[in-house]
Structure 1
Amino acid sequence: MASASLGEELECSICLSLYTDPVTLRCGHNFCRGCIDQVLNTQDRAGVYSCPECREEFQERPTLQKNITLCNVVENFLSTHACQLRRDALNYCTYCIHSPVPAVRSCLLCEASLCDNHLRAHSKSPEHVLTDPSTSLEKRKCSVHKKILEYYCTEDAACICVSCCLIGEHRGHKMESLDEASEKKKKKKLRNILQKLITKRTKIEERVWSVQERERKAQEKASREAERVTSLFIDIRRRLDDLEKRVLSKISRQEEQLSLSDVIQKLEIKKDELSRKMRHFEELCNMADPLTVLQDPDTGDLCDPEEGGSDEDTGGHDGGEEDTGGHDGGYQGLELILHISQTLNHMIKNATIFVQDPADILLDINTAYDNLLISNDLKTATWIVGNQNHPENPERFQDYPQVMNSRSFSTGRHYWDVEIIGSCWWRVGMCYPSIDRSGRESHIGNDNKSWCLYRGLFNYSSVIHDNEVIRLPDNISSNRVRICLDYEAGRLSFYELCDPIRHLHTFTATFTEPLHAVLCVLGGSLKIERRTVGYSSRWSYS
């Protein structure tokens, strides 16, 4: 018993076999090096590594340290039990008691195993049935009559002996030989099952290849788009820099050519002179002595100021606009600014930024799966262990933990936010009311009547429609997401509510039915946000 208990303690929790080259993680758990390597390889894409035993997460791939002490314990255990294991694995002659000799045949009547020497001396009578060497001869005899099992009862589906046929409880039943029954009942079915399994595996391999090919094409397309956007912004920055340099250079040249300080000074002097003359002439106008007026030197050559006015003193500057000679450069700069504005407007339009109030989403308890608990305010769906015994309803989902909302959307633009509480496996999205309520296609995303955002184990994130899975390049780290619908434009978009808000994916379709919001959760809760959460206006277009 102690040996069996020790053997269980020396088993790897992944392969359930004795440790092979045991290594230790930082959390203290031990695994075979090959087993933990395979697990970590599957976690490479997620970028987050965790212990299969305690789920402790590591930001970087953990370094595997060989557990020398455990390795020595396993080797000692194997060496101690090697002889017993070898003897259990081989069948030795029953009569060679002084030194074990491997058996070549076993006699069912004698219940003994025979080597070559004892086989030659063994009885050749028909009742002594010889078989391949076996250590479980008792299983080949009838438990009631202790005779060899030679027949198969088709009515009771049991292997029986001669006595069972003649005087036992199987008397009068239809019998077949063991070889015939094995061929008809078991081997034929096994061949059919094997062929089906081979066909199924081939289809799965083809599908794996198809999904990998779609993933490769999607990654190539995303890479091309990223390069295109990067090139566009590099060109925009270059054009803006050039325009800024040209405009600043032109302003500098104009500033050098146009010096208004001298003009202002001359105009001030002229204004003072005119003011002095005005006061003198006003005094002359008020004088009563005509002789003084006629003999005044300033009245010798009177003329209309409008006729004799001149801007010689101001150098031809009258305070109006200057001819910069830069109309062509200004037009080109304006054309570039308009082009940049149109490009940015197009990108903002494609980003589907919603500014209206959030849609009022209330969950329909008549559609809720039996293991979903719907809150009193119809805003939260929680997975629980144990049925809720909801009343039967043809609208209820039967096979997946899903619930729809009661309101449908057939026009306009709407959005709603979801908070994920304690769940690492969930789906959120929208569907037509005609979606199946049972079967595989009732799971949102698995048919052409629904669209969803999905996060699975190891934070695997993707979007699904018509059973086509599109892996997201970056995993979802926030516990809040947003779903945006533009019904007339045929756009359904998903965002991660982080800072800045990150666009995840946009489906485009021609909607033919009203749409309902759908939640699907396992091991936690999904909550409809009651209010708009304040996030930065900076948007990330990915």
Structure 2
Amino acid sequence: MASSSDFGVILDELTCPVCFDLYKEPTALPCGHSFCRVCIETFWENRKEDTGCFCPNCREVFPQKPKLEKNVIVANLVENMKLKKGKVGLGVEIGDAEHGNVNVKEGVKSGGSESYCELCNGEAAKRCVPCEILCCEKHLKPHQQKGHKLVDPEVKIEELRCTQHGKPIQLYCKDDESLMCLMCTGGQHQEHKVVAVEIAYVELKGVLAAKYPDVSLSMESVASQLQQVQEEEEQTENSSRDAEDRLEEKRMLVCQFVNESVDLMKSQINKRKMEKLSLLGKQREKLEQQMENLREGKSTMDTAFQELEAVCFLQGSKNMLKRLRTMSDHEGLKRTPLPVLDFSKEEKTLDGLVTLNKKFMEKIQKGPEKVYLQHPEHLFPVEHPERLYLEHPEHLFPVEHPERLYLEHPEHLFPVEHPEMLYLEHPEHLFPVEHPEMLYLQHPEHLFPVEHPEKVDLDQNNLRNHYGRTPSLDPNSAHRLFEISRSLRTATRTVFENPYPKHPDRFDFHTQVVSRESFSSSRHYWEVDVRSCRFCRIGICLNSMGRKRRGRGCMLGRNPESWCLEKRDNEYSAFHDDQCNDLSVPRDPERFGFFLDCEAGELTCFGDSRVLCVFVGNFMVPVKPAIGVLNDGDSVHFVRLVK
């Protein structure tokens, strides 16, 4: 006699996998699986959008709808089961197991990314990997009993199959750290160490668990350093704000002193001017009187010349001779010129102030003395000489005491006990720099001194001959309101947009364009003709400056990544990081010239032959010449220079 467990197994085999009830008129498909006739027909009717019919169990596709024939054996077994038991363990009375009470749901959703059971409209609980079907809790039971692999509904079947063979992924190659199917073991993984994915999962999870505490400690360390950085940033902001306030007070005092000094000198000049003008006025009155007397004498002589009678002529000769004597007295009189007023003393006093101010500005623009270090590709300056960094086997660390320099010994780092002597490494030994004011740099063949960062003759002819460049515009970066010439040297702003293709480098808001060339070392000089432009910005920018948004981050001169001159009609300004400095330009220049010294960290800007300003920054990272035009119809172009 069959036990209750055997009875449960038989009952499961006589249960329709769609309606989960005993078969009602069971029919067999060509693949061998059986279903209630109503269940399978309803299932196919609700999937009219699919091409062909397929088995809900094994997913085998039938090009034509199969002819449904009654499975006589299964039907007899169901009838016998009904006779033996009146109620089965499915929670459904056999007498009520009619398809009017337990129907297959219409509008079944299957496939795609929706998490719906493919046999009913219920919410999918799992996806059966072998059967490739989404099942709800109700329809999941047969797959669980058969030991099928179940995953979350969100997991795609394609992710669980081998991309090469299309078979289920069951193995993990430790050598290649790759997932594989059984067929992959015969190829390149034949000699590799391969384990089941479950074993690899446990092992790798253990590795991660072992490293988890280290990651936590690292996070704590980084958090502590971030806190220190934030505190230093706040301290820097406060100290900078205090310094700016003090500078503002000193500027008011300096302006007051200069104004009072100039006013005093102007009053002295005005006093001397009035004294001399008074003397000159008296001389003018005297000379005017003399001129009047001479006119009267000349008139008398003209009258005498016209007299024809001798008697009449002699009668008036007495008066005429008297006037001649008066005129002869005027001929001996000569004006003594007054000394020219000399204001050179006052000008020299002001020149002294101007010279002092120029030296002060040059010192500010030059910044701290630069220390040069060797990079694998070029030499670059240390912007902050107050902190020197040395290489440790694990990391770079700062020299906390600048008065002590450390050098590397084969065994350890040792201090220079006498700061007045600097030591450099030679292939055979260490030797001192006898003149600390000179820094030595390593050349592939020998060491050579850098007495100062080399001063360059800023004569423009010299710059053109030695460092002249002719940049070319990058059409992929040009805003659509720009028309770029065939020579790639002229940019003209148009009224209508040009049909340029999309490109990650293209400016999409600000009408700007950059050059194809970028500079990060050596020296370069180029010129831009601005005669045909009323409103433009010309300068350089880092290649990393933004291109795709509105705001200061993408506008020349308005962010830390760009430097430029701005021309607005007859007004000129220098911009960097949204800081504006108005420039005094006596006449409108036809060209802007730019001399970039990457190692010195300086960008010298010219208006024709006059230096307008000098930008100081780190130009060892790639920078590009850049142009912005803000008025329709205006154009600028790079001047062709022959190096």
Fold shared per TM-score above 0.5: no
What is the TM-score when the length of structure 2 is the normalising length? 0.31
Greater fraction of residues in helix: 1
Q: Which has the higher contact order (CA 8 A, sep 6+)?
A: 1
TM-score by length of 1: 0.36
